[in-house]
Chain A
Amino acid sequence: MKAGFTIGLKKRNQYWISFLLVISVSLVCYGLTPYMGYRVVALVLLVTVSLIAISFDILPVLFAAALSAFIWDFFFIPPRFTIHVGSTDDSILLIMYFIIAMINGVLTYKIRQAEKKARLKEERANSVKLYNTILNSLSHELRTPIAAIIGATDNLQLNKHLSNADRQQLIGEISKASLRLNQQVENLLNISRLESGHIQPKADWCDVVELVYEVVRRVEENNPGRKINISMNQDLPICWIDKGMLDQVLYNLLNNAAIHTDQGSKIEIMAACHIDLLEVVIQDSGQGFRMTNQKDVFQKFSRERKEEIAGTGLGLSIVKGFTEALGGNVELKTDGSGTRFVLSFPVRTKYISIEHG
């Protein structure tokens, strides 16, 4: 954390703080001269410089060292108020004081450099690890459907003894694989939009009821056999929000629920609007997340049950990224009997009566 403190403070401020510290400590010591010898003052000043060295850069430390040496010489070493030093002992002390203060500064600098090096090394190791994770996950997630497509088309072209049923099945596999590929590419495009930091929500008036039904229709279409319960007041006001991004958030959560829970478990979406808050809850009665740390769940490329179910581990990090870009918040509550995502977005809302329209 010290490193952060050093970086956080501008150089100029470091000089000022060093200056003020040395001056105020000197003033206190000056007031106490009747009660303590001037050699003790040297130690007190040395401690001050050491403290400065703990968190500041080398130059402000050297500055503090020089300043305090001068002050000690001028105001404390007899004869006072001259830079002249009276005894040989004091001359040696002054020189030693100066050397120790300088060493303080240099050692600090060396430690800083070593810390920086270690940090860089660690960062590099982390990015290599992340890169490998991405590569493994992507090459698996992209190559599997591609392999399915190539395999199936080869079979269709070369195998003359295929029954009609086999043929249909192979065509079905191609269709499934290409849809899966499309979904992965969509996720990758979204994550790179988020990573580039250029994501600008474009809000407009949005009929949330319409949006929810539309998303549910798509999820049900892409997950045949799954039924999603919708429970919300049909008279929700219209909300001022980026519809496309909200759509993506809800789709990812519902689609996740449909993919990662058994056919028998329930999936439900609820939406409610308060004066300036849109709240959406998506819950399922599946087996829940094993990761207990919420941060991990929303991490890029973090995945559960990798072996059993396909995925890139991007869906939830897109959910979090988009939700935050919309100024909202997403919370996860999960246990062995289900998962519940609570989303809240600050929005302007409007009720319009059109009976006279």
Chain B
Amino acid sequence: MAKREVLIIDDEPQIRKLLEITLQSNGYVVKEAISAKEGLIMASNHPPDLILLDLGLPDENGHIVLQKLRKWYTNPVIILSVQKSEENIIKALDNGANDYLVKPFRTGELLARIRSATRASISEDSDPVISCGDLQIDLTARTVRKGNDLVRLTATEYNLLALLARNEGKVLTHQYLLRAIWGPGYINQSQYLRVFIAQIRKKIEVDPNRPECLLTESGVGYRFLSK
């Protein structure tokens, strides 16, 4: 398989250097842009497999860069930012970011997020079975198994889990999930989401209090992690 290409758009030389070393030593081809303008040109000239985008660029707000990118760029975009407010994260995800990492971040975490973002973009409609540990979700047969046992889920529980599994690795915001599962009238009814997620965890996780498949992104949403 050809090496994946990653475009870094960040004005801080130290961060770029660090990312370059980390990514190259993990088998990625790295390209770097130091401004929004340069980043947009490089991305359109030769679309990379993934973009790491900083929100605090000198020449243009990162949210706007993201909106511009998303008009035509369909591969994953991961935001790296010092901004950790939930509004910012939700805004970026709503604008089409696949993931959001707050600086400072751990290298292991970054690599895991990149892996899961690129994997998701490849397995778009190929693999109907998504697994996490000994949990298997068969999207065609609409069944969930834990080891050899069938997990009994209600229709809503299954729909919620399947939606998250289909977007494995990607954070889905509370509003997105509420709208998709319950409908537009329910986007402020976050209490349902809390309760259903807790209920699903009881059925699929080894220890529902230390979830490994259905993870919480505090204040933002949930993500399904396949393993």
Q: Mark A176-199, 1 if CB is under 8 A from B, else 0.
A: 001000100000000000000000
Contact call B219/A210, Cβ cutoff below 8 A: no
Give the segment of A4-12, A201-209, A258-266 that binds chain B.
A201-209
Which residues from A are CB-within-8-Å of B86? 202, 244
By CB atoms of chain A within 10 A, which of B86, B154, B195, B197 has the most?
A: B195
Which chain B residue has the least Cβ–Cβ distance from A353? Answer: B195
Which chain A residue has the least Cβ–Cβ distance from B209? Answer: A213
Residues 104-156 of B at the A interface (beta carbon under 8 Å): 104, 154-156
Given the known inter-chain contacts A178-B104, A214-B216, A244-B218, please indicate yes or no for A207 contacting B154, CB distance below 8 A: no
Q: Mark A240-254, 1 if CB is under 8 A from B, else 0.
A: 000110010000000
Which residues from B are CB-within-8-Å of A247? 218
Give the segment of B3-11, B13-21, B186-194 that binds chain A.
B186-194
Contact call B218/A207, Cβ cutoff below 8 A: no
Which chain A residue has the least Cβ–Cβ distance from B199? Answer: A354
Could you tell me the distance between the alpha carbons of A182 and B84 in the complex, rounded to whole angstroms?
14
Contact call A213/B191, Cβ cutoff below 8 A: no
Contact call B209/A209, Cβ cutoff below 8 A: yes
Nearest chain A CB to B105's CB is how many angstroms away?
11
Contact call A352/B218, Cβ cutoff below 8 A: no
Could you tell me the distance between the alpha carbons of A238 and B191 in the complex, rounded to whole angstroms?
7
Which chain B residue has the least Cβ–Cβ distance from A175? Answer: B106
Residues 188-211 of B at the A interface (beta carbon under 8 Å): 190-199, 209-210
Could you tell me the distance between the alpha carbons of A243 and B219 in the complex, rounded to whole angstroms?
7
Given the known inter-chain contacts A178-B104, A204-B190, please indicate yes or no for A357 contacting B196, CB distance below 8 A: yes
By CB atoms of chain A within 10 A, which of B104, B157, B198 has the most?
A: B198
Nearest chain A CB to B122's CB is how many angstroms away?
31
Nearest chain B CB to A263's CB is how many angstroms away?
22
Answer whether residue A217 sits at the interface, using C-beta atoms and an 8 A cutoff.
Answer: yes
| Choice from B104, B154, B209, B219 contacting A354 with Cβ under 8 Å | B154
Contact call B194/A182, Cβ cutoff below 8 A: no
Answer whether residue A140 sits at the interface, using C-beta atoms and an 8 A cutoff.
Answer: no
| Choice from A202, A243, A350, A356 contacting B191 with Cβ under 8 Å | A350
Q: Mark A214-231, 1 if CB is under 8 A from B, else 0.
A: 100100000000000000
Could you tell me the distance between the alpha carbons of A206 and B154 in the complex, rounded to whole angstroms?
23
By CB atoms of chain A within 10 A, which of B190, B194, B198, B210 has the most?
A: B194
Could you tell me the distance between the alpha carbons of A216 and B121 in the complex, rounded to whole angstroms?
33
Q: Mark A315-354, 1 if CB is under 8 A from B, else 0.
A: 0000000000000000000000000000000000010101
Nearest chain B CB to A260's CB is how many angstroms away?
25
Nearest chain A CB to B84's CB is how many angstroms away?
9
Q: Mark B161-202, 1 if CB is under 8 A from A, else 0.
A: 000000000000000000000000000001111111111000
Which chain A residue has the least Cβ–Cβ distance from B188? Answer: A204
Which residues from A are CB-within-8-Å of B155? 357
| Choice from B192, B193, B199, B210 contacting A213 with Cβ under 8 Å | B210
Which chain B residue has the least Cβ–Cβ distance from A234? Answer: B209
Given the known inter-chain contacts A243-B219, A352-B191, please indicate yes or no for A357 contacting B209, CB distance below 8 A: no
Which chain B residue has the least Cβ–Cβ distance from A179? Answer: B104
Could you tell me the distance between the alpha carbons of A354 and B86 in the complex, rounded to whole angstroms?
28
Which chain A residue has the least Cβ–Cβ distance from B103? Answer: A182
Nearest chain A CB to B150's CB is how many angstroms away?
18
Contact call A244/B219, Cβ cutoff below 8 A: yes
Given the known inter-chain contacts A238-B191, A352-B191, A354-B199, please indicate yes or no for A243 contacting B104, CB distance below 8 A: no
What would 11 A/B residue contacts be, using CB atoms closer than 8 Å?
A: A178-B104, A182-B104, A202-B86, A204-B219, A205-B193, A207-B198, A238-B191, A244-B86, A244-B218, A352-B195, A357-B196
Residues of A within 8 A of B (CB): 178, 182, 202, 204-207, 209-210, 213-214, 217, 238, 243-244, 247, 350, 352, 354-357
What would 14 more interface pairs be, CB under 8 Å, given A205-B194, A206-B194? A182-B104, A202-B86, A204-B190, A205-B191, A207-B194, A209-B209, A214-B216, A238-B191, A247-B218, A352-B192, A357-B154, A357-B155, A357-B196, A357-B199
Q: Nearest 5 pairs between A and B by C-beta?
A: A205-B191, A213-B209, A357-B156, A207-B194, A352-B195
